[in-house]
Amino acid sequence: MTMEEWIRATFPVYDDFGCEVFEFKANGLTVQADMAIFLSIFGNVPAPPTAASLKAADPENKTGWHWCFDAWAHQGIIAAG
C-alpha cells in the first residue's frame, strides 16, 4: 500500500477547485489538506504510517504537521510509534 492509497482508504478525498484534498478532524477543527503537497513531503513514508514515521520525515516540524499526526494517533487512526 502506498501513502496515497492509505490516505484514500482513511480519509474523505475530493476535488476542491482543481486541487485534490483530503479532510480530517484534529483538535476539534476540520482540516483540509492538499494531497499533492502532503505526498511531496510524506509520500515516501511506508503505509500504514505511524506518528513517529511521519514525524521522522520532517523531524524539525518545518511543515507544521506534527500536531495533526498527534491528533491522528490520539483518535486511533495511526499508532504513536
63 C-beta neighbours (distance < 10 Å), count = 13
Whole-prediction pTM: 0.93
SS3 13: strand
Q: What is the pLDDT along the chain (81 residues), one digit of tens a residue?
A: 999 999 999 999 999 999 999 999 999 999 999 999 999 999 999 999 999 999 999 999 999 999 999 999 999 999 998
Do residues 7 and 13 make contact, with C-beta atoms less than 8 angstroms apart? Answer: yes
Residues 6+ apart with CB under 8 A from 15: 21
